[in-house]
Amino acid sequence: MATPEFSPSELKARKISPTELGKMLKIQTEDKIGFLKKIFYTGVPITAIILIELLIFGGRLKGASIAYTFLLLALSFSIAVTENYLVRKIYQALLILTIFRLINFSMPIFFEKNLYSFIFIYVPLAIPLTIAATHQKIVYENNRDTLKKLWIYLPLSVLAGFAFAQAEYILIGARALIPDLSSANLLALIVIMVFIVALIEELMFRAILQTSLEEFLGPAGGIILASLLFGMMHSTYGTPFEMIYTFFVGGFLGYLFYKTRSLPLVVMIHGSINVFLFGIIPHVGPGLGLT
């Protein structure tokens, strides 16, 4: 907590001695230095990721892959030498984002129609994410409380997923990842989009990254920065509107996770968005064909 600043008249009225004044100024200086250090520790790698994502947005994939490789090495080295435990947790989360993007470069699923390609992108991340989540000791909503609220979470997730998917479909005009809405295809889409894609991304951005940033910068800083990276890492869609939109969606999911600590809730909403966006809406049309 920062020490309040006093005017000369206030100092005189309060009868603050030069020694006390020196201590107060020292605390103020230390607070400012501490704040600047936080900005530096988080700002440098996050800015680097944003700049690299802008390279991807501009179509310079080779340069972006090289830059991410160097960032991977820099983050690995920083984790090894940094003494601050909270900083290491943030760098660990950013390291996973870097690995995710490098895997993405090796199999660019955003340019393919194969639903099962997502499995090869996301499943390998399950191991480092599990290790990171265990290491960071993330606090979640009690399982019993989650089950009790499931009757609220499930319809809320479907309704929110439909609403967000409608808006996103207008922005990017997503193509269906399944040939039709048969039971088998729809089940495959739900399993992959909810239990693989949404689960991995929510673990990565909300549970691990946002939580570590919250501990270091406070809830608002954690939610905003995690959402910013979530939005920027949609640069592969090639439209700034998609990045801006997913930034706000990430903020909504981040706030829900902060308030409820329920990973299943944000996973179900995220998964519902993907199911509607890449399966149902492309086949039946916006408004589920009712408009």
Q: What is the predicted pLDDT for the residue at 19?
A: 63
Q: What is the predicted pLDDT for the residue at 231?
A: 96
Q: What is the predicted pLDDT for the residue at 29?
A: 54
- What is each CA distance from 125 to 69, 98, 151, 228, in whole angstroms? 17, 11, 30, 21
Would you say residue 6 has pLDDT above 70? no
- What is each CA distance from 204 to 60, 100, 226, 288, in whole angstroms? 25, 10, 10, 31
Q: What is the predicted pLDDT for the residue at 136?
A: 85
Average pLDDT over residues 141-167: 94
- Enumerate the H helices of 107-149 as residue ranges: 117-122, 126-136, 143-148
Residue 11 binned pLDDT confidence (cut-offs 50, 70, 90): very low
Would you say residue 129 has pLDDT above 50? yes
DSSP 172-198: H-PPPSSSS--HHHHHHHHHHIIIIII
Measured in whole angstroms, the distance separating CA 180 from the mean position of its chain's CA atoms is 31
232-283 confidence digits (pLDDT tens): 999 988 899 999 999 999 999 999 999 999 999 999 999 999 999 999 999 9
Euclidean distance between CA atoms 222 and 207, whole angstroms: 11
61-79 confidence digits (pLDDT tens): 999 999 999 999 999 999 9
Would you say residue 168 has pLDDT above 70? yes
Euclidean distance between CA atoms 49 and 232, whole angstroms: 8
Q: What is the predicted pLDDT for the residue at 222?
A: 95
Average pLDDT over residues 81-86: 90
Which residues, at least 6 apart from 239, have a Cβ–Cβ distance to it below 8 Å? 171, 172
Q: Give 4's DSSP letter.
A: P
Q: What is the predicted pLDDT for the residue at 152?
A: 95
Euclidean distance between CA atoms 284 and 274, whole angstroms: 15
Residue 106 binned pLDDT confidence (cut-offs 50, 70, 90): confident
Hey, is 148 helix, strand or coil? Answer: helix
Residue 26 binned pLDDT confidence (cut-offs 50, 70, 90): very low
- What is each CA distance from 8 to 1, 4, 12, 39, 152, in whole angstroms? 22, 13, 6, 31, 57
Residue 88 binned pLDDT confidence (cut-offs 50, 70, 90): very high
- SS3 string of 43-100? HHHHHHHHHHHHHHHCCCHHHHHHHHHHHHHHHHHHHHHCCCHHHHHHHHHHHHHHHH
- Mean pLDDT score across all residues of the chain: 87
**What is the token pair recorded at 219?**
């809830």
Euclidean distance between CA atoms 189 and 187, whole angstroms: 5
Q: What is the predicted pLDDT for the residue at 289?
A: 57
Residues 94 and 49 sit within 8 Å (Cβ to Cβ): yes
Q: What is the predicted pLDDT for the residue at 30?
A: 47
- What is each CA distance from 17 to 9, 14, 24, 114, 237, in whole angstroms? 13, 9, 11, 73, 62
How many CB atoms are located within 10 Å of the residue 205 CB? 24
Residue 192's Cβ-count burial label (10 Å; 0-12, 13-18, 19+) is: buried
Average pLDDT over residues 154-168: 96
Q: What is the predicted pLDDT for the residue at 14?
A: 58
Would you say residue 191 has pLDDT above 80? yes
Euclidean distance between CA atoms 181 and 140, whole angstroms: 35
